[in-house]
């Protein structure tokens, strides 16, 4: 079954407490190569048939209307997952 991937991230100007907590912990476990962490969310929408432009448009609408909260989050990508196998 084809899938559409939606990635949602907190808006850059919005505090991301989750990312902050993880970023603070990384150096404590010896991983010092990172200056920041932001934590977003990934959704996988399964499609029955082909991923047409229309289905993608619906996914974009779902992302804007339901999957993200436009007050504090951005939809950063809506894309078809490349076939596995």
List 21, 57, 66, 76, residue binding other proteins (CB under 8 A):
21
Q: From CA 16, how far away is CA 38, in angstroms rounded?
A: 6
Radius of gyration from C-alpha coordinates of the chain: 16
CB of 15 to other proteins, least distance (A): 4
CB of 45 to other proteins, least distance (A): 19
Please say which residue, 4 or 67, places its beta carbon nearer to other proteins. 67
Task: Report if residue 48 touches other proteins, rule: CB under 8 A.
Answer: no
CB of 8 to other proteins, least distance (A): 15
**Number of residues forming the site for other proteins (CB under 8 A):** 19
Please say which residue, 14 or 57, places its beta carbon nearer to other proteins. 14
b/e 3-14 (16+ beta carbons within 10 angstroms → b):
bbebbbbbeeee
Burial class (CB in 10 A: 0-12, 13-18, 19+), 59: buried
């Amino acid at each position: 079954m084809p899938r559409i991937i939606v990635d949602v991230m907190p808006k850059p100007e919005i505090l991301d407490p989750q990312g902050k907590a993880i970023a603070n912990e990384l150096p404590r476990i010896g991983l010092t190569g990172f200056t920041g962490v932001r934590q977003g969310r990934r959704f996988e929408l399964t499609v029955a048939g082909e991923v047409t432009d229309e289905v993608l448009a619906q996914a974009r609408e779902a992302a804007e209307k339901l999957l993200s909260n436009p007050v504090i989050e951005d939809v950063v990508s809506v894309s078809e997952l490349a076939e596995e196998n």
